[in-house]
Amino acid sequence: MMSNMLHVSSSPHIRSKIKTDWIMYMVLIALLPATCMGVWLFGVPALVLILCSVITCVVTEYLYERLMHKPITIKDGSAMVTGLLLALNLPSGAAWWMAVLGGVFAILIVKQLFGGLGQNIMNPALAARCFLMISFAARMTDFSTSNAVTAKLVDTVSGATPLAEIKAGGSFDLLSMFLGTTRGTIGETSALLLLIGGIFLVVMKVIDLRIPLTYLGSFAVFALLFGGHGFDLGYLAAELCGGGLMLGAWFMATDYVTRPVTGKGQYIYGVILGILTGLFRIFGSSAEGVSYAIIFSNLLVPIIERLTLPGGFGIVKQKGGKKS
């Protein structure tokens, strides 16, 4: 009978009951604390940027798939996640049209033109942020705030972020950096809330601890060895809490599409991320380096997977990558 026939399909043959939309909505929930903190801290401008970015990403994906006669996938939540992550990586003083331009770039150029979800070679939100950084460097590094926002911030001395102050040899308020009452992009200020969101994803088994802990650990070792502050745990804690490190380690470096699939590969990936972030932060001209570190490491993932994929049963790998 037809019901007893074997069905032949391409790999993977092991499938999970967990759906893409469930994963994406868990990520959105995990990002809610940091998002609410950003809106409370920076007010209406932050909310406008978040709405512009999320709506642009969803509409761009819908229009492209409709025009290309492809299945509409906006219900899976991936475009919303991209839009929210992009917005959280923007300063509250960015113009609304920058969020729109970044959203179009993320979805159209980085995601859809590479084949859609699962085919993009780098994180769309971070690629869009780097695009905006290159195109509008002054606007993307302007963290000045209104008087109403400044009243909520502990750091009221200047418009510089804590990382910039540290790099310039200034002081920092570690508690403010941990709680989030400091300057930065919309979603990166509170290390505590980002850590809570990351732990939520671990508990829900959306991500595991390989990449985040390897990333943070390797960066910590690099900062202690080359940061120029010796074994100063206060400096180390400030580097870990400051900038986009927590946001990147828990929410973007762990992206299913652009991370290695092998366990060994994920450890290697995390170490590369930590070293690159340390290089960019400590020896680079900018105080930050998470975005460029993740983007560059995304491009290395095919090589990492090639080197760490286990051989097939009965196949012995020889030198030079040849199999016998």
Low-confidence winner among 3-17, 109-123, 159-173, 228-242 (lowest mean pLDDT): 3-17
**pLDDT of the residue at 98:** 97
The alpha carbon of 22 is separated from its chain's Cα centroid by a whole number of angstroms, namely: 19
Residue 312 confidence class, pLDDT cut points 50, 70, 90:
low
In the chain, domain spans? 20-308
- Whether residue 11 is predicted with pLDDT greater than 60 in this model: the reply is no
Residue 220 confidence class, pLDDT cut points 50, 70, 90:
very high
CA distance 159 to 149: 12
> 19-29 pLDDT, tens per residue?
888 999 999 99
237, 173 Cβ separation under 8 angstroms: no
> 78-136 pLDDT, tens per residue?
999 999 999 999 999 999 999 999 999 999 999 999 988 888 999 999 999 999 999 99
SS3 content of the chain, % helix, strand, coil (to 5): 65, 0, 35
127, 102 Cβ separation under 8 angstroms: no
CA distance 314 to 47: 57
**pLDDT of the residue at 157:** 42
Three-state DSSP class for 317?
A: strand
First to last CA, the chain: 41
> 281-302 pLDDT, tens per residue?
999 888 888 999 999 999 999 9
191, 237 Cβ separation under 8 angstroms: no
Place of tokens 């969020």: 99
- Whether residue 205 is predicted with pLDDT greater than 50 in this model: the reply is yes
**Does domain 20-308 match CATH 1.10.30?**
no
